[in-house]
Structure 1
Amino acid sequence: MAAVSFQSVSKTFSTPRGPFQALDGVSLDIQEGEFFGLLGPNGAGKTTLISILAGLARATSGSVSVLGHDVQSQFADARRQLGVVPQELVFDPFFNVRETLRLQSGYFGVRDNDAWIDELLDALGLADKASANMRQLSGGMKRRVLVAQALVHKPPIIVLDEPTAGVDVELRQTLWQFVARLNKQGHTVLLTTHYLEEAEALCTRLAMLKRGRVVALARTSELLGAASANVLRFKTDDALPPALAQVARVTGRVAQLPAQDAQEIEQYLAALRAAGVRVEDVEIRKADLEDVFLNVMAEAQEDAQREQRA
């Protein structure tokens, strides 16, 4: 049995400009114990998909189940299996941290939960904030509480929607260590993130969305293995030759060129020398998930344009 199953899920919103299709026939299964990543640009449909999973939105068509429980017809059973960390900072200003977690435990009928609450507070660096009112916490601390709330009833499936957006490095490290430990203990984790290095390091399998459609679904190692073998990276203040500019990824002074082999790297360097482009900090690295992601998104865009022309 899949931990989470999306079957032909579509979602259309009514807007002043007419219908907007946020999801278009999404089908994928997440197995028990997986650390699964859901990636895509802004507006790809990731949060909409999670909202349907969590019961916050209703699919226009298709079905979603959690450990065999349909999220619409068996919503209470499905919801008990989930711990969801939302993007938005949502908190009750009338309670302190410990009271917030006790209240969240009560929503799921969990009594005498202080031992687990103490473990969560300690693991997430909140032990010294247990008696602090939620209004007194920084944004990063509030996000830690959201994570603790999602885990307070020990759900078998943990859903993390951009959990480290706008937080400090310390929290990111603390959170991933704790979540990785839970995953090793058998918890299923579904993660959406724009930090692709996190997804590459943590997720065993990935799905990529573009305009509400799944455009890639495979093990992380398989996606990386199908990418260009190497990337030539360097810094320059000069403009690249047009032929190289078409294939380069440029961020400020940093340019990166995909290369299949050493011969192609030498061709790039020769073209740069011939054009008089001054380079520094030259290095050759393996392709990473960011390279894969950009290639997949570009191919999906080309496919969409061909469909429109047809």
Structure 2
Amino acid sequence: MTLKLGIIGTNWITKMLVEAAHESQAYQLTAVYSRRAESGEAFAKDFGEVAVYTDLAAFYESGIEVVYIASPNSLHYEQTLQAIAHDLHVIVEKSAFSNTKEYEAVYSALREHPNVRLFEAARHVHQANFKAIEAKVAEMAHISGATLVYEKYSSRFDDYLAGKEPNVLTREFSAGALTDLGVYPLYAAIKLFGMPKESHYFATPLRNGADGRGIVILRYADFDVTIQFGKGANSYLHSEILGMRDTIVIDSIAELGEVIYKDGAGNDTEISTPAPANPMVPEMQVFAAIINDPVGQDATYRELLTLSQRVNIVLTNLRQDAGIIFPADK
């Protein structure tokens, strides 16, 4: 069954998702929503006959079955609630919602619309190389700790330095380094190790009160996970998961290009396979399978929804620990 897809947001990540959706052969883009018609039309022209809307209600009533929401973070909540009210399945870009209060309200809406499925687009945890990491972690006799790194100079950071206020670096849009980049290693940590007992965030603030980079410490019963991320510098450090003598070395916890298992006795084994050209294809295949077989795939769906909720809880706790307040929190 080919699902009719609508998208909100016309940036590069939306284009990548639509291409992945088409490559999966499970979706067909049929509608684009943009506040400006010219932006929507410029995006749609690459995908054939696609309707463009500047009215959100008309977009939701256009016959689409799945909506992908890639607007600024602070808009996800209301747009998701509206989609659920129209009985549309929702794929929302991470970070999904600003705080636990919003997530709880969305969860309540899902209970009122039991046929709707909600997904957070955390593409890396669906990739084959992440699953290889999971399998190897399960085999390791002991976990001593981990360091997960994702620090990239943002294309918007020059604008910030020039005195502008890019959406991805402002609290007004529920944004900053933690919710934009830190969410990748945080998702990985919680997927691999579960909920931490404690979480602490040492943030480097920007002049507007948002976080530009930071260090997160997740405390588990027998080990700690350190997460380093930021948008104002480039780091070339690998990520590592430490056993005792053995170690898993990951080139990038978000991109997952190469994963090496070192047994500590001089034997290095590559456990990764070539990454897909479009890293969003695996997640789009998973989402379509769940939508098309909601009963058979219910356990998988509940696991993903629980993971998303846990990430939201820890993200909220980390911001509170660092004293970062979003307007959506009030």
TM over 0.5: no
Structure with max Cα Rg: 1
- Structure number with the higher strand fraction is 1
Normalised by the length of structure 2, the TM-score is 0.29
Normalised by the length of structure 1, the TM-score is 0.30
